[in-house]
Amino acid sequence: MKHNFGAGPCILPQPVFEQASKAVLDFNGLSILEVSHRHKDFVAVMDEAIALTKQALGVPEGYSVAFLQGGATLGFTIAALNMMREHKAAGYMNTGTWASGAIKEAKKVGLDVTVFASSEDQNFTYIPKNYSIPSSLDFVHFTSNNTIFGTQFHTFPATDLPLVCDMSSDIFSKVINVSDFDLIYAGAQKNLGPAGATVYIVKDEVLGKSTSPFLPTYLDLKQHVDKESMMNTPPVFAVYVAMLNLKDLISNGGVAAAEQRNIAKAQLLYNEIDRNSQFKGAVSVEDRSNMNVTFLLNDESRAADFDALWKAAGIVGLPGHRSVGGYRASLYNALPLASVQVLVEVMKEFEKTA
């Protein structure tokens, strides 16, 4: 087996792969790939995926969960359209590539966007602090974990304004207080399931209040919540596997236990990055992500040697994003501690050959 440090689509638990493959061959006498999404057996799967999402994150009364398609990329537009109110103005934090993408789409749908905090000045290597949030905004948007640069909000922005978050790469990785948010969205393929499903957790009060003159049916969250994620054909297989993964997560102690495992994995790797004379971390220490660990070689000319070592150890998915370079080890929920130990051993070996 390979050690998959890929940033997404990413590793899922082995039992989930096994159960998913069985359902491809036999889901109550059909293949999960051919079953009608209106069949009661699949309606039960969708209901369970929604119920398990609520259970895993402790989603309170007054919130709904929906599974859509389009990825977090369509989520940028859906969030902006559904949260637009009388000001037609929003505040965005720019902490990386995905945050920048969200800003671009918010402008496209006609929001007056104020970027009240940004780390672009230092190539997104930190999370901005000590900013002030203007009033007279319809909502505030941020990206909880910056998948490409490897920074993470360890405390969320404090505001009385409706708070919206792209949580694609750290949802289900740690305990959160859903009631802090009006809207959370996340592409499934980083901690929840295969690519193809996108989860939305929305405060019911938000639904049906958009002031946008342009709100296509598919982009209206109220439609999806009212139709229990069955407005059109949902991503049947992606939702099925997400459901299996949520069951697996809950049976292994839920999000709280996953958080402890994720912290242990990240600490093991960051300790080695800091100890090892050959490497350095890529971002400011207090903002380091527990999901996507970015690091660099002190001597770039040794890259081919390091690459040969980790590849020989069965590691895949370690190169940094093409826009950043260096290395990125994604430590999503399903990545075992043993895989991190293999990487740390490789880094130690590499130091010995210096």
Ligand X SMILES: *Cc1c(COP(=O)(O)O)cnc(C)c1O
Select 23 or 235, whichever has its Cβ closest to ligand X. Answer: 235
State in angstroms the smallest separation of the CB of 263 from ligand X. 20
**Looking at the annotation, which residues are catalytic?**
98, 166, 190
Identity of the amino acid at 104: K
Helix extents (H) in the chain: 14-25, 40-57, 71-83, 97-108, 221-226, 236-251, 254-275, 303-312, 337-352
CA-closest candidate to residue 325, choices 123, 153, 99: 123
State in angstroms the smallest separation of the CB of 348 from ligand X. 30
E strand or H helix at 210: none
State in angstroms the smallest separation of the CB of 294 from ligand X. 13
Select 75 or 281, whichever has its Cβ closest to ligand X. Answer: 75
Select 23 or 165, whichever has its Cβ closest to ligand X. Answer: 165
State in angstroms the smallest separation of the CB of 243 from ligand X. 18
Select 195 or 303, whichever has its Cβ closest to ligand X. Answer: 195
Hey, what long-range contacts does 97-102 have (CB within 8 A, 24 or more apart)?
97/124, 97/146, 97/148, 97/149, 97/321, 97/323, 98/72, 98/143, 98/146, 98/147, 98/148, 98/166, 98/168, 99/142, 99/143, 99/146, 99/166, 101/73, 101/76, 102/76, 102/141, 102/143, 102/166
In angstroms, rounded to a whole number, what is the distance separating the alpha carbons of residues 187 and 194?
9
State in angstroms the smallest separation of the CB of 185 from ligand X. 9
Compute CA 275 distance to the chain's CA centroid, rounded to the nearest angstrom.
29
CA-closest candidate to residue 64, choices 77, 51, 73: 51
Select 118 or 169, whichever has its Cβ closest to ligand X. Answer: 169
Query: Is the bond into 194 cis (omega within 30 degrees of 0)?
Result: no
State in angstroms the smallest separation of the CB of 193 from ligand X. 12
In angstroms, rounded to a whole number, what is the distance separating the alpha carbons of residues 53 and 75?
18
E strand or H helix at 142: strand 139-143
> Which backbone phi and psi does 166 adopt, to 5 degrees?
-85, 105
What does the binding site for ligand X look like in residue numbers (CB under 6 A)? 8, 71-73, 98, 143, 147, 166, 168-169, 187, 190
Select 83 or 347, whichever has its Cβ closest to ligand X. Answer: 83
